[in-house]
Amino acid sequence: MKTSNYKFLLLFTLVLTLINCKKESLTESKSFSIGIISDCQYCDCDIRLVGGADRYYRKAPDRLRKAIAELNKHELEFTIHLGDFIDKDFKSFDSINPIWDKLKSKSYHVLGNHDFSVADSLKNKVPNKMGLTNRYYSFELNNWKFIVLDGNNVSLYGAPTKEKLKEAEELLAEVTKDSLLYAKFYNGALGSEQLAWVKTELEDAKTRNLNVCFFNHFPASPMTKLNFWDKENFLALVKDYDNVKLYLNGHDHAGAYDKVNGVHYVTFKGIVDTENTNTFASIEFTKDSAFVKGYGREESRSLKLK
């Protein structure tokens, strides 16, 4: 090979290497933001005291409208609602969906237990009414895999098949026998099939060097009467994956925070609670942190990613 050709190839290879390195660096360091809303829980219902707090169901649409108006002022990659979009009645979706559709960002839903508080004949139509083709799913953004769980997939009220209803009865009997705090009929579980899918998703993320953030309606930690029934199986699974960084949920309207094995577990407060205050958040993802900006009753947090 002529010296001139060799020098040209060497220079060309060096330029490609620098370009690729720059692309990888940009992918890893590029920050982005998302919106978080939880437990809108609308129905045309009177105020009711639940779990020590009054719920103002008829105020939920206006609060959702105001939350969306604020979030629409910011550049968000997506906004996600963490479950219990309605409190009950299938017709409630028709009042709240048009407001949700005003979001400028891409939007996602997590299924909550109250979303299935509809007539039995309509339960299988709930996911589609919320724009979901799958009850649990994942999607990717930059170097993150976001995994949306369905904690109602195995439950007494929202199981899609007789087999999953049977699994729900067996799981509830098991946690009841063990006198666990979260052995409540209004909770649910991921179930064996979904846990197997989660493992596949985690393996894929690990192989491709992607960080992982989970969304669920039910908290996995800290311990509360509102955890999902097979949370211990879930926690045992994720502890082997260092790329799992965040777990974000609703269901416990008071909110909560915990950190287990380097994973941040954040429970977001419910919109439907209190007479006069709203609650929602945005999260900015950077290379090594997640910054939660809380609005209204929601707390702001700086979460260092391990």
Rounded CA-CA distance 80/92 in Å is 19
Rounded CA-CA distance 61/31 in Å is 31
Residues 113 and 6 in one domain: no
Element (H, E) at 284: strand 279-285
Range ranked top by mean pLDDT from 27-36, 48-57, 120-129: 120-129
How does pLDDT run across 100-151, given as a tens digit for each residue? 999 999 999 999 999 999 999 999 999 999 999 999 999 999 999 999 999 9
Residue 21 has pLDDT above 50, yes or no: no
Domain with 176 in it: 32-304
Residues 43 and 18 in one domain: no
Q: Are 190 and 151 in contact (CB under 8 A)?
A: yes
Tokens representing residue 69 in the block: 């108006």
How does pLDDT run across 272-300, given as a tens digit for each residue? 999 999 999 999 999 999 999 999 999 99
Q: What percent of the chain has pLDDT over 70?
A: 91
Q: Are 49 and 81 in contact (CB under 8 A)?
A: no
Rounded CA-CA distance 84/93 in Å is 11
Residues 50 and 12 in one domain: no
> What pTM did the predictor assign?
0.90
Residues 54 and 156 in one domain: yes
Which ranges constitute the DSSP H helices of 138-296? Answer: 162-177, 191-207, 231-238
pLDDT class of 25 with cuts at 50, 70, 90: very low
Residues 54 and 15 in one domain: no
Residues 155 and 165 in one domain: yes
Residues 13 and 93 in one domain: no
Q: Can you give the CATH number for the domain in which 176 is found? A: 3.60.21.10
pLDDT class of 190 with cuts at 50, 70, 90: very high
Q: Which of 294, 250, 257 is nearest to 273 (CA)?
A: 250
Residues 188 and 258 in one domain: yes
Rounded CA-CA distance 54/69 in Å is 25
Residues 126 and 189 in one domain: yes
How does pLDDT run across 255-278, given as a tens digit for each residue? 999 999 999 999 999 999 999 999
Residues 56 and 17 in one domain: no
- Domain total in the chain: 2
